[in-house]
């Protein structure tokens, strides 16, 4: 249903800069942040059979991953730690919002398609640390702040790392002309998602922060103006996007251009870079 609409524009496997590497899993990205001798993972993707292969492309050993930040519990962001996964990260501690955790406990059901459909409950066995909005903590020398940006899910968190990188999961969708609220048909509440984006922008501007913003499905940007250009609009999953991004793949699930050679050859361009 998404072919030709320019909706999913994942990064290929590779490096954004010296600190951030990513892996492409179909239409989604997972990320790794490294500082000195510590590497943490942001989101756990699908239950993806090529994960170990692509981790070798970016020279990261899964046995070194002891901490995983989870933005939200959808299966394209938590699949690699689900009970029926290959358990590459069975000893890792998961950090997840206390509200989001209610989906995992069965207290909430994940609704999509404007409340008409529900997704299956996810089961995990990893140790969890539950986070609140505004929690600040350290993993070795890495500073992490959790910020609640509800709407896509009720407990969706974004993570500000070292005041320089903002990992946004499914809160922001980058079009060719800037950032929008994420895909309408997948949100628990589109009105809340837009309000949350407004609050996030105000918080960053008030603190005079202009972080590198890294999304789960549409790449990254380093301009706060580009990031929030259309914060009060929503990506419409039912239509071809306008204006259409000429770099958007017709079929984003086709990974044939994601190769080890390309991974090692070039840095990954930002969303608003020619």
CA-to-CA distance for 271 and 222, rounded, in angstroms? 9
Residues recorded for the chain? 274
Give the pLDDT confidence score for residue 1 in this predicted structure.
83
Instruction: Using the predicted structure, report yes or no on whether residue 61 has a pLDDT greater than 80.
Output: yes
- Residue 212, pLDDT score: 98
pLDDT tens-digit map of 231-269: 999 999 999 999 999 999 999 999 999 999 999 998 999
What domains, with CATH codes, occur in the chain?
Answer: 14-265 (3.60.15.10)
CA 95, 99, 100, 102 torsion-angle sign: positive
Helices (H), 73-230: 75-78, 101-105, 190-206, 224-227
- Asked whether the predicted pLDDT for residue 208 surpasses 80, the reply is yes
- Residue 200: its pLDDT value, please? 98
Q: What is the pLDDT of residue 266?
A: 87
Q: How far is CA 193 from CA 43, 181, 188, 271, in A?
A: 20, 7, 8, 21
pLDDT value of position 115: 87
Q: Residue 151: what pLDDT?
A: 98
Structure tokens at 174: 């980058």
Instruction: Tell me if the bond preceding 243 is cis, omega within 30° of 0.
Output: yes
CB 54 within 8 A of CB 262: no
Residue 205 is encoded by which pair of tokens? Answer: 């501007």
Q: How many other C-beta atoms lie within 10 A of the C-beta of residue 202?
A: 11
CA-to-CA dists, residue 57 to 54, 104, 191, 203, 261, angstroms? 5, 32, 40, 36, 9
Alpha-carbon distance of 105 to 5, in angstroms, equals 35
pLDDT tens for each residue of 114-162: 988 999 999 999 999 999 999 999 999 999 999 999 999 999 999 999 9
pLDDT of residue 260: 97
pLDDT of 272 higher than 90: no
The yes-or-no verdict on residue 54 having pLDDT over 90 is: yes
- 66, 120, 158, 220 from 173: Cα distances, Å: 29, 24, 14, 10
Decide if pLDDT at 274 tops 80.
no
Bridge partners of 145?
A: 136, 160
- Predicted pLDDT of residue 267: 94
Using DSSP's 3-state secondary structure scheme, residue 125 falls into coil
pLDDT grade for 273, boundaries at 50, 70 and 90:
confident
């Amino acid at each position: 249903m998404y072919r030709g609409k320019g909706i999913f524009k994942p990064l290929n496997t590779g490096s954004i800069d010296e600190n951030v590497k990513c892996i492409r899993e179909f239409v989604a990205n997972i990320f790794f942040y490294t500082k000195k001798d510590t590497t943490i993972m942001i989101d756990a993707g699908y239950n993806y059979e090529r994960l170990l292969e692509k981790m070798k492309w970016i020279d990261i050993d899964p046995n070194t991953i002891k901490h995983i930040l989870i933005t939200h519990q959808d299966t394209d962001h938590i699949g690699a730690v689900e009970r029926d996964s290959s358990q590459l990260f069975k000893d890792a501690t998961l950090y997840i919002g206390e509200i989001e955790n209610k989906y995992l406990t069965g207290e909430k059901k994940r609704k999509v398609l404007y409340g008409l459909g529900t997704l299956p409950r996810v089961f995990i066995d990893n140790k969890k640390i539950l986070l609140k909005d505004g929690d600040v903590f350290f993993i070795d020398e890495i500073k992490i702040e959790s910020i609640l940006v509800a709407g896509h899910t009720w407990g969706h968190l974004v993570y500000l790392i070292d005041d320089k990188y903002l990992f946004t999961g499914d809160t922001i969708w980058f079009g060719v002309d800037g950032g929008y609220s994420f895909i309408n048909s997948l949100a628990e509440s589109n009105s809340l998602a837009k309000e949350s984006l407004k609050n996030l922008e105000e918080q960053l501007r008030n603190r005079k922060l202009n972080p590198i913003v890294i999304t789960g499905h549409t790449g990254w940007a380093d301009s706060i103006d580009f990031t929030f250009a259309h914060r009060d609009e929503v990506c419409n999953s039912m239509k071809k996007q306008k204006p259409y991004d000429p770099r958007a793949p017709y079929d984003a699930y086709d990974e044939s251009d994601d190769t080890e050679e390309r991974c090692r050859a070039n840095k990954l361009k930002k969303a608003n870079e020619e």
